[in-house]
């Protein structure tokens, strides 16, 4: 049986972009049609893959296009400002079907099947190559009919890339070029590199805590029981096509209670909270730690997500007496005037005012000042996918009956912690390490507050490397090279394979300009983690300074093959080429470096402008460990 009715046609979009059009009538062989309301192409698969299709049908991938009001408002603004053709950029990720048919270039019939199709099965199931790892919808989709008999069926629909996070990276990594910003190049949302750089991908050279690695597919496509009898089920299970994430807005708007409750469950506990009374009276330290997120938290778009930590204080009688303002946990992109972006308008981004997002491995502390008569404090980490103002604008065109649901974006509580005034038992060593690591990340002049906690953890758990690694990191931060090296080596004796031991030793020495001494630890680290960007960057620098320009170039080239736009890689490549006397190539490399340099001075100037728009009594989120003061309730 040949599936000649599912035909694909490749069309070139932007230089790196190949999209798809789906032609033809639904498959005649489909035994059970579960849903007549599926876009072209999907119907052909749904007959035999009822579970995959039903799951996909409630996923954000199904609503990636003009069938999604939260997206539509933003892409319409972009199209009206920059022209329809420019929105090919968005289309490679959001509406590949429209891109492939060429319809994006023209006014779009928003109700047409193509504009409502979303990210259909055959896009992911045809991607067999990437020109490089710069994302931006740069994928090559293989175009051929779909045989229905094994082994041809599986061979056609499971290209090697399907199980690889690089597949996801082709769309989950955004670079905003000058053609979009009409200004400098900027990194957009990028969960791929955040994952690749972390212990979740088996990398994360500096991570003190390490969990077993997992792919995007493991977390976002876990095995799920195939209750509808999917033809591809193995042991009754298939990889879930719900692609659960943080988007509670879409299922709420569509009144899809099942997907909404699954999204809540996916989010709950993804980050944990812990609380400690500080040294100063009334000071409360809340420590967040990433538990189940394989990249920075929050992932995805950060300008429109609202994620925040808040605290409320109670008196002995149990009455609420004071409340904090919200500590945002996210990055804040701003426009050229330093104003926060509020309309999901990437074309106006000029820089980032602050980034309080949580790293995949390191705990982060937030300070609260609590009234003296408070006996109990409750802190909560909450998530609203879109701000209410954004949702109101986005939902204005939604039919009246559904508008309220679309506007009322649910708030999901990710974690909660209750801290009593009376001291409880001494925290275990793990909590002490978390507290120490979180404090060590603050400004250098207050980082030393971390020391007693890390020392106590070391005394409680003498066989564990983590307290020693925490101390090594603290000493690196304080510029105490010999102490840092001693701690890192002591940790290496306990756990020779722990990458952070080699990383911290090499970093301490390199920062003290002791490059020759740093080299053995740096090379040891690279042998442990050959794909780690921090390891490669360190090795490139150390090799370069000790005169091994060939070795430095090799490391820089590896860095660029992992992330072609990585500033550090481009810079090290420029230096190595110059050292090797390859001046012309060095000039090309330098130009590329300058194009992708993170211009700190521009970000600092934008931050100053951003500060002028803030209310003067709000804490400055760009300063680590600033204090949020709880205000008395009337």
Site for ligand HEC in 413-452 (CB under 6 A): none
Q: How far is residue 174's CA from residue 181's CA, in Å, rounded to a whole number? A: 13
- Pick the binder of ligand HEC from 17, 18, 20, 45 (CB under 6 A): 45
Instruction: Calculate the CA 528 to chain-centre distance.
Output: 24
Q: Supply φ then ψ for residue 311, to 5 degrees.
A: -130, 145
Alpha carbon distance 452, 278 (integer Å): 13
- Does the CA dihedral 39-305-408-220 come out positive or negative? positive
Place of tokens 């991570």: 207
Give the span between the Cα atoms of 451 and 458, in whole angstroms. Answer: 10
Residue 26 in the binding site for ligand HEC (CB under 6 A): no
Query: Which residue, 98, 102, 167, 89, is CA-closest to 128?
Result: 167
140 sits near ligand HEC (criterion: CB under 6 A): no
The residue among 295 and 519 lying less far from ligand HEC, judged by its C-beta, is: 295
> How many Å apart are CA 555 and CA 18, to the nearest integer?
31
Q: Is the Cβ of residue 221 or residue 374 nearer to ligand HEC in the bound state?
A: 221
Q: Which of residues 110-129 bind ligand HEC (CB under 6 A)?
A: 119, 121-125
Q: What tokens were used for 190?
A: 């990028």
Q: What is the CA radius of gyration of the chain?
A: 26
Under rule CB under 6 A, residue 39 binds ligand HEC: no
- Does 209 bind ligand HEC (CB under 6 A)? Our answer is no
Which residue from 39, 49, 262, 522 is in contact with ligand HEC, where contact means CB under 6 A?
A: 49
In this chain, which stretch among 152-160, 363-371, 541-549, 595-603 interacts with ligand HEC, using CB under 6 A? Answer: 152-160
For ligand HEC, the closer of residues 155 and 623 by Cβ is 155
406 touching ligand HEC, by CB under 6 A: no
* Using rule CB under 6 A, residue 454 touches ligand HEC: no
Q: What's the min distance (Å) between Cβ of 205 and ligand HEC?
A: 18
Q: Which of 61, 187, 254, 382 binds ligand HEC (CB under 6 A)?
A: 61
Applying the rule CB under 6 A, the residues between 210 and 249 that interact with ligand HEC are 214, 216-217, 219-221, 231-232, 238-239, 241, 243-247
| 8 A C-beta contact, residue 438 and residue 364 | yes
202: region left, alpha or beta (phi > 0 left; psi from -120 to 50 alpha): left
Given candidates 114, 191, 274, 306, which one binds ligand HEC under the rule CB under 6 A?
191
The residue among 288, 211, 206 whose CA lies nearest residue 472 is 206
CB atoms within 10 A of CB 110: 13
Q: Which of 13, 135, 333, 351 is in the footprint of ligand HEC by CB under 6 A?
A: 135
Question: Which of 16, 18, 39, 44 forms a contact with ligand HEC (CB under 6 A)?
Answer: 44
**Shortest separation between residue 22's beta carbon and ligand HEC, angstroms:** 9
Q: Do 26 and 160 touch, CB atoms closer than 8 A?
A: no
Exposed/middle/buried for residue 452 (C-beta within 10 Å: 0-12, 13-18, 19+): middle
Q: Which of 23, 25, 29, 591 binds ligand HEC (CB under 6 A)?
A: 29
Angle (CA) 472-474-477 rounded to 5° is 110
Verify binding: residue 157, ligand HEC, rule CB under 6 A: yes
* Residues in region 160-189 near ligand HEC by CB under 6 A: 162-163, 165, 167-172, 174, 189
Sole binder of ligand HEC in the list 26, 47, 159, 363 (CB under 6 A): 47
CA–CA distance, 192 with 51 (Å, rounded to integer): 27
Binders of ligand HEC in range 552-611 (CB under 6 A): none
Q: Output the smallest distance, CB 216 to ligand HEC, in A.
A: 3
Q: Which of 106, 158, 397, 631 binds ligand HEC (CB under 6 A)?
A: 158
344: contact with ligand HEC by CB under 6 A: yes
Residues 71-110 that bind ligand HEC (CB under 6 A): 71, 74-75, 78, 89-90, 92-94, 96
Name the one range near ligand HEC by CB under 6 A: 296-304, 494-502, 532-540, 608-616: 296-304
Contact assessment for residue 376 and residue 233, using Cβ atoms and an 8 Å cutoff: no
Is-cis flag, bond preceding 20, omega within 30? no
CA distance 580 to 342: 48
Q: Which is nearer to ligand HEC, 135 or 351 (CB)?
A: 135
CA 548 remoteness from chain centre: 35
Rounded Cα distance between 255 and 526, Å, is 50
Residue reference for tokens 């794909």: 531
**293 interacts with ligand HEC by CB under 6 A:** yes
Options 150-158, 447-455, 544-552, 581-589: segment touching ligand HEC (CB under 6 A):
150-158
| Token pair belonging to 278 | 């500080």
């Amino acid at each position: 049986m040949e599936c000649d009715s599912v035909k694909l046609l490749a069309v070139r979009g932007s230089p790196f972009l190949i999209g798809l059009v789906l032609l033809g009538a639904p498959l005649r062989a489909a035994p059970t049609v579960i849903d007549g309301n599926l876009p072209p192409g999907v119907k052909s698969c749904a007959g035999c893959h009822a579970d995959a299709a039903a799951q996909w049908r409630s996923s954000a991938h199904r609503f990636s296009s003009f069938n999604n009001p939260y997206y539509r408002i933003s892409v319409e603004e972009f199209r009206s400002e920059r022209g329809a053709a420019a929105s090919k950029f968005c289309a490679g990720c959001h509406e590949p079907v429209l891109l492939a048919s060429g319809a994006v270039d023209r006014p779009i019939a928003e109700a047409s099947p193509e504009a409502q199709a979303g990210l259909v099965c055959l896009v992911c199931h045809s991607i067999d190559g990437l020109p490089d790892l710069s994302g931006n919808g740069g994928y090559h989709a293989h175009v051929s009919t779909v045989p229905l008999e094994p082994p041809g069926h599986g061979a056609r629909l499971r290209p090697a890339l399907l199980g690889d996070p690089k597949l996801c990276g082709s769309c989950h990594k955004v670079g905003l070029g000058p053609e979009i910003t009409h200004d400098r190049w900027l990194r957009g949302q990028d969960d791929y590199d955040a994952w690749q750089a972390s212990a979740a991908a088996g990398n994360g050279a500096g991570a003190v805590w390490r969990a077993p690695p997992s792919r995007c597919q493991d977390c976002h496509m876990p095995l799920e029981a195939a209750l509808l009898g999917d033809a591809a089920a193995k042991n009754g299970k298939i990889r879930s096509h719900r692609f659960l994430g943080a988007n509670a807005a879409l299922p709420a708007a569509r009144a899809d209670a099942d997907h909404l409750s699954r999204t809540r469950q996916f989010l709950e506990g993804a980050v944990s909270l812990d609380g400690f009374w500080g040294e100063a009276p009334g000071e409360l330290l809340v420590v967040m730690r990433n538990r189940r997120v394989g990249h920075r938290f929050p992932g995805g778009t950060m300008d429109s997500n609202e994620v925040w930590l808040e605290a409320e204080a109670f008196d002995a009688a149990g009455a609420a007496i004071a409340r904090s303002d919200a500590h945002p946990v996210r990055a804040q992109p701003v426009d050229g005037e330093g104003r926060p972006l509020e309309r999901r308008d990437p074309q106006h981004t000029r820089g980032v005012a602050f980034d309080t997002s949580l790293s995949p491995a390191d705990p982060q502390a937030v300070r609260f000042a609590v009234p003296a008569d408070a006996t109990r404090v409750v802190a909560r980490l909450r998530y609203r996918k879109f701000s209410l103002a954004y949702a109101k604008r986005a939902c204005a065109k939604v039919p009246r009956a559904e508008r309220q649901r679309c506007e009322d974006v649910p708030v999901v509580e990710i974690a909660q912690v209750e801290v009593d005034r009376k001291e409880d038992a001494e925290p275990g060593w793990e909590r002490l390490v978390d507290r120490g690591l979180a404090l060590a990340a603050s400004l250098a002049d207050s980082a030393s507050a971390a020391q007693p906690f890390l020392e106590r953890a070391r005394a409680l758990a003498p066989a564990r490397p983590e307290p020693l690694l925490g101390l090594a990191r603290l000493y690196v931060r304080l510029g105490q090279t010999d102490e840092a090296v001693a701690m890192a080596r002591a940790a290496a004796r306990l756990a020779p394979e722990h990458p952070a031991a080699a990383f911290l030793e090499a970093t301490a020495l390199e920062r003290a300009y002791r490059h020759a001494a740093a080299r053995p630890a740096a090379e040891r680290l690279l042998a442990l983690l050959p794909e780690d960007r921090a390891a490669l960057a360190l090795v490139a620098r150390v090799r370069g300074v000790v005169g091994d320009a060939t070795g430095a170039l090799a490391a820089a080239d590896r860095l660029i093959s992992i992330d072609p736009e990585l500033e550090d890689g481009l810079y090290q490549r420029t230096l190595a080429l110059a050292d090797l006397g390859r001046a012309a190539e060095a000039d090309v490399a330098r130009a590329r470096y300058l194009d992708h340099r993170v211009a700190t001075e521009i970000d600092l100037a934008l931050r100053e402008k951003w500060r002028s728009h803030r209310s003067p009594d709000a804490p400055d989120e760009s300063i680590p460990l600033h204090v949020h003061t709880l205000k008395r309730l009337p």
